[in-house]
Amino acid sequence: MTLAYQPARLITLINNKGMRITCMDLGATWLSCRLPTGKDLQEVLLGGARYEDYQNQSAYLGATIGRYANRIANGCYEHNGEIIKLSTNQNGNTLHGGPDGFDRKTWQIETIAEDKVIFTLTSPDGDQGFPGEVKAVATYSLRNDNSVIIDYRAYSSASTPINLSNHAYFNLNDAQNGDDSRSHYLKISASRYLPVDQEGIPISGLRNVEGTRFDFRRRRRIRNDYDHAFLLDTESDYSHSPCLSLTSAQNKLTLDLFTNKPAVQIYTGRQLAGTPNRRHGVYKAHAGIALETQFLPDTPNHSHWPQPDCFFSNDKIYQFTTCYRFSW
């Protein structure tokens, strides 16, 4: 694997159960997650076979997304009476931080320990149009209870929207072949979701999931296409129930998600077709499902939404954590 990914630097963490995760400095990417579910380790993340696959693909495979995950409508927002114009990269909108977002940057490896790796990145003032110099820190930790914890911190010299997220695609059925992710079972502690147009831009306020295909408050198969944000009812940590659970079609493997972010974007991979896979081929559409913990899309233009403020500055540190716990 290492030779195929040169010149990137890879770091592998192994817990006492034999679970392995591999991270890469390009994009502070979660490259691989292999679980000891049987005689062989089971890969549960989608991924490419070579370094070039990550440079050339547009699916954000496992990458750290920033400065702002999801979309900002028309590539602009108003803050403190000033209109800020951003670089755009999707039909006139800014997606996942712009055309040269954090996923395209080579992060510095600050610390490597037995159970964690810490990446750092400095984004200069004006990067993709965003004000302020931002110093971002991404920490991946692997615990012996088969949990992966991603902690994001950021420090900005000026008021700027920050919304870091990981864009891993999960397939608990068969990540190697990319079986249809919509056969998974999903449960989300979310009573409201955000309707969007065909470009993924919010078209109205939050709506109740009651009586709609967006109601996952009780576990059920996904079945349909989704690229929508759900406002979580409460934040969750180890002392609470998970805010989201994803289970394989055969009920053999479950991923429980805990986060203090207010929302999660569920994306069932409709546009994954043609994305390079680990076998030097390509994935089909719906080969994996992304669970992107974040602020709601286009939040800089909707300060009234019921969630924490997405603007951070030198006197307000960005710090959010997401935990992915696997069981079988």
Residue numbers annotated as active site = 167, 292
- In this prediction, residues 159-170 reach a mean pLDDT of 98
In the predicted structure, residue 239 carries a pLDDT above the cut 70: no
- Average pLDDT on 91-98 reads 97
pLDDT digits (tens, 9 = 90+) for 121-151: 999 999 999 999 999 999 999 999 999 999 9
* Residue 3, pLDDT score: 61
The rounded distance, in Å, linking the Cα atoms of 310 and 277 is 34
pTM, whole model, 2 decimals? 0.96
pLDDT at residue number 198: 93
Residues 105 and 111: their CA atoms lie apart, in Å, by: 18
Predicted confidence at residue 63, as pLDDT, reads 98
Does residue 1 register a pLDDT over 80?
no
pLDDT of residue 238: 60
Confidence at 5, pLDDT banded by 50, 70, 90:
confident
Does residue 237 carry a pLDDT above 80?
A: no
Mean pLDDT (the chain, rounded): 96
Contacts with 85 (C-beta within 8 Å, 6 or more apart), sequence order:
75, 76, 129
In this predicted structure, what is the pLDDT of residue 2?
A: 64
Q: What is the pLDDT of residue 233?
A: 95
Distance CA 266, CA 187 (A): 11
The two structure tokens encoding residue 46? 């989608």
Q: Which domains does the chain have, with CATH numbers?
A: 3-327 (2.70.98.10)
Adjacent-strand bridge partners of 82: 79
- Six token digits for residue 105: 């940057």
- The mean pLDDT of 180-204, rounded to a whole number, is 96
Percent of the chain with pLDDT over 70: 98
Sign of CA dihedral 218, 170, 165, 229: negative
- pLDDT range class, residue 112, cuts 50, 70, 90: very high
Residue 74, pLDDT above cutoff 80: yes
- Tell how far CA 106 is from the center of its chain: 18
Instruction: pLDDT band for 236, please (50, 70, 90 cuts).
Output: low
- Determine the average pLDDT of the residues in 32-47: 96
